[in-house]
Every structure is written in structure tokens, then in C-alpha cells.
């Protein structure tokens, strides 16, 4: 049988196999993390009825770790090629129809091509103000 007449193998089973492997690996990582946490706790530790102190300690640790960790991310320059002659976002296209206001791509790419950070972007910048840091 010529090669062009052979039935083509389906890619769906291979995709499903890859997805299954990814899910299995994630489950194994979660199980290993849970086993490591369980083995790190002392076997004879008495259970405390004071959950308020534990909850406030965990909440404080979470807020402090997120606050210090997200501050630098919000100030990072998003476009590494900004303010260089090879920046592809510096090319602006605009048009005007009749006597309507002109519309261009500078509204979207201007903040990035000028070296703006995540907090300087038009829509995302307002959302980053909610994040700690």
C-alpha cells in the first residue's frame, strides 16, 4: 500500500496521554508534599484547641510573604526591548474616518514601548493596585 493511501494516525490519543501524564505528575508531587509535611510533624504532638492564634500566625505570614514578593513584580519593565531601535511595539498605526476621533495602536502599546511596568498599563494597572506590595 502506498504511503499516501495509509490511514493517518490520530493525534487525540497522544494528546490525552500527555494530559494524563501531566495530571499524574501533579498528583504525585502533591502526594509527596503531603507525605513530607506529615513526616515533619512530631508523632507525639498534642492537638491544640487554640486555632485562633494559629490562624492569625498563618494569615500574617501569608500577607507578609505576598506583600514583599509582589512589590518588585509590579515595578518590573514588561517589554525588554522598550526604548530600543528594534522594539516591535514602537510601530504605531492610526486611522481617522471622517470627523471622528483618530484611532490608533498607541493607546495599547504606548505604555509598553516607553518602558512601562505592570502597574503603568492602562487596564491591568488598576487591578495591580489591589495586590499587596
Give the model's pLDDT for residue 8.
Answer: 73
Decide if pLDDT at 95 tops 60: yes
- What helix, strand, coil percent values describe the chain, rounded to 5? 55, 5, 40
* Largest CA-CA distance found in the chain, in angstroms, rounded: 80
> Which are the contacts of 2, defined by CB distance < 8 A and separation ≥ 6?
none
Give the model's pLDDT for residue 100.
Answer: 92
Q: Residues of the chain with pLDDT > 90: what percent? A: 5
Cell readout for 65 is 510573604
- pLDDT tens-digit profile of 8-51? 766 556 777 777 777 887 777 777 666 555 555 555 555 555 56
Decide if pLDDT at 4 tops 60: yes
- Paired with 94 in beta bridges are 104
> Which are the contacts of 74, defined by CB distance < 8 A and separation ≥ 6?
117, 118, 119, 128, 131, 133
Amino acid at each position: 500500500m502506498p504511503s499516501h493511501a495509509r490511514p493517518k494516525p490520530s493525534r487525540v490519543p497522544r494528546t490525552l496521554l500527555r494530559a494524563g501524564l501531566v495530571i499524574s505528575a501533579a498528583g504525585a508531587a502533591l502526594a509527596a508534599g503531603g507525605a513530607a509535611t506529615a513526616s515533619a510533624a512530631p508523632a507525639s504532638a498534642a492537638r491544640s484547641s487554640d486555632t485562633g492564634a494559629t490562624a492569625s500566625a498563618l494569615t500574617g505570614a501569608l500577607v507578609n510573604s505576598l506583600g514583599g514578593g509582589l512589590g518588585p513584580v509590579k515595578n518590573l519593565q514588561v517589554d525588554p526591548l522598550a526604548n530600543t531601535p528594534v522594539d516591535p511595539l514602537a510601530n504605531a498605526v492610526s486611522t481617522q474616518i471622517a470627523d471622528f476621533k483618530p484611532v490608533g495602536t498607541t493607546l495599547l502599546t504606548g505604555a509598553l514601548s516607553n518602558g512601562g511596568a505592570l502597574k503603568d498599563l492602562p487596564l491591568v494597572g488598576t487591578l495591580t493596585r489591589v495586590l499587596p506590595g
